[in-house]
Amino acid sequence: MILITGGARSGKSSLAERLAASVSDRVLYIATSEVTDEEMAERIRLHRQARPAHWRTWEGSQQLASVIDQQAAGEAVILECITTLIANLMFELTGATPVETIDFATVETAIQRQIDELLAACARSPATIYLVTNELGMGIVPENRLARHFRDIAGRVNQRLAAAAESVLLVISGIEVKIK
């Protein structure tokens, strides 16, 4: 498992795509983004259009471990992106609960269980797996409670993924730096 991290629009996805294509013609692209508005629908459409036609795509934030378990040796998997996965899980777990009343410790425990399953699947898989995530902790502390907890949970998830990864690449302005 290779973890690719960096800021928004830093080139993380492009790097994952290049690396996956260099390993195999058979690539599964796990896309965790969901259509929430017209802008996101357009972003997803452009991402789909940019991927090679022979790559397979699986879209969603559920049952990722079972999707990875089905991959074979010689294949490459891109999971894009962990940060979006966390956001989807947070919103699924909290629904319309007022932010002031959310028990973020319980939310994080549920998210970390999903990460446990994902890490176990990555460890079992004979496929080469690239996980793409955002580095959120390099800016100012967010003003609102939800954003602070999201940043903190994402940071702790990223630490676990980095510890388990064979290698970790940081992408800044399209340039990758191997940090592990």
Token pair 């629908």: residue: 41
Token pair 């891109």: residue: 78
Rounded Cα distance, 79 and 115, in Å: 13
The terminus-to-terminus CA distance of the chain in angstroms comes to 12
Active-site choice (24, 26, 47, 60)? 47
Rounded Cα distance, 1 and 28, in Å: 14
* Greatest CA separation for the chain: 48
Rounded Cα distance, 89 and 142, in Å: 20
Rounded Cα distance, 62 and 19, in Å: 25
- Residues 165 and 114: beta-carbon distance below 8 Å: no
Active site residue 47: yes
Interstrand relation of 128-132 and 175-178 (parallel, antiparallel or unpaired)? unpaired
Residues annotated as catalytic are 47
